[in-house]
Amino acid sequence: MELLSSSAFWIALGSIILTNIVLSGDNAVVIALASRNLPPAQQKKAIFWGSAAAIIMRVVLTVAAVKLLTLPYLKIVGALLLVYIGVQLLTGEDDEDGHEGKDNIWAAIRTILIADLVMSLDNVVAVAAAAQKGPEGSQLMLLIVGLGLSIPLIVFGSTILLKVMERFPIIIVLGAALLGYLAGEMLVSDPVDHLWFEANVPHAHLVFGIAGAAFVVLLGKLLQKRNQRQTA
């Protein structure tokens, strides 16, 4: 009860919620993309369980954030995973059944979890920093409560995006491009190579982010056309 009467606790909790909302826009995009081909009833389940599981996973990841982000090659692997997921979402393929759309709820949830894990590598640092504002010994509780309260907001954002995608299919392309952009940024920020990129490539994050976005969209479109020719 002493924690609840502490202004530091409420300030830290508010910081975590606000930080997570601001940094979760890309996660809402992935959730909406991964569930767009499911029947309406399954869409709601995929969004809810995918969001809830992603938040729980983010709590665990945040606890180990500082150590994880110092591991070499981790962001490079993450960048490659994001490119793969972006292309897969754009083509509507599932790696288990070839050219079928992502109409399996568990496949959608799996995609949400993998993408959220990769994209959260940077986000969790900000959330962990916000938790440090709380009273001593309250950090883990703040993470669990703060991230848990963010679930309805991410679910709400994903639901709105699904409705927008139905009317404007270009949003799907933009979502895949976003994943490619994030992949490009991750590629040049790994502990192994970030100093080289900073010294030799002006505005490396922007350059490789744009290149990653273009690569995902172009590759996704090429594979989409190939699949259409094969099924024609």
Residue 22 has pLDDT above 70, yes or no: no
- When mean pLDDT is compared over 45-49, 138-142, 228-232, the highest value belongs to 45-49
In this predicted structure, what is the pLDDT of residue 85?
82
Q: Cα(46)–Cα(38) distance, rounded to whole angstroms?
A: 9
Q: Cα(19)–Cα(89) distance, rounded to whole angstroms?
A: 27
Tell me the two tokens of residue 98: 């070839």
Residue 219 has pLDDT above 90, yes or no: yes
Contact 172, 216 (CB under 8 A): no
* Average pLDDT in the chain: 77
Domain encompassing residue 132: 3-231
Confidence band, pLDDT 50/70/90 cuts, at residue 50: confident
Residue 210 has pLDDT above 90, yes or no: yes
Residue spans of alpha helices (H) in the chain: 7-23, 25-35, 40-63, 65-68, 74-91, 105-131, 139-167, 170-187, 194-200, 204-231
Residue 99 has pLDDT above 60, yes or no: no
In this predicted structure, what is the pLDDT of residue 65?
59
Contact 90, 37 (CB under 8 A): no
Residue 103 has pLDDT above 60, yes or no: no
Helix (H) / strand (E) containing 134: none
The amino acid present at 123, given as its one-letter code, is: N
Q: Cα(43)–Cα(32) distance, rounded to whole angstroms?
A: 9
Instruction: Spell out the long-range contacts of 52-56 with Cβ–Cβ below 8 A and sequence spacing 24 or more.
Output: 52/151, 53/109, 53/112, 53/113, 54/27, 54/112, 54/113, 54/116, 54/117, 54/120, 54/154, 55/147, 55/148, 55/150, 55/151, 55/154
Total domains in the chain come to: 1
Contact 216, 87 (CB under 8 A): yes
Q: Cα(151)–Cα(158) distance, rounded to whole angstroms?
A: 11
Contact 130, 15 (CB under 8 A): yes
- When mean pLDDT is compared over 54-63, 94-103, 158-167, 210-219, the highest value belongs to 210-219
Residue 189 has pLDDT above 70, yes or no: yes
Verdict on whether the full-model pTM lies above 0.75: no
The amino acid present at 130, given as its one-letter code, is: A
Contact 94, 102 (CB under 8 A): yes
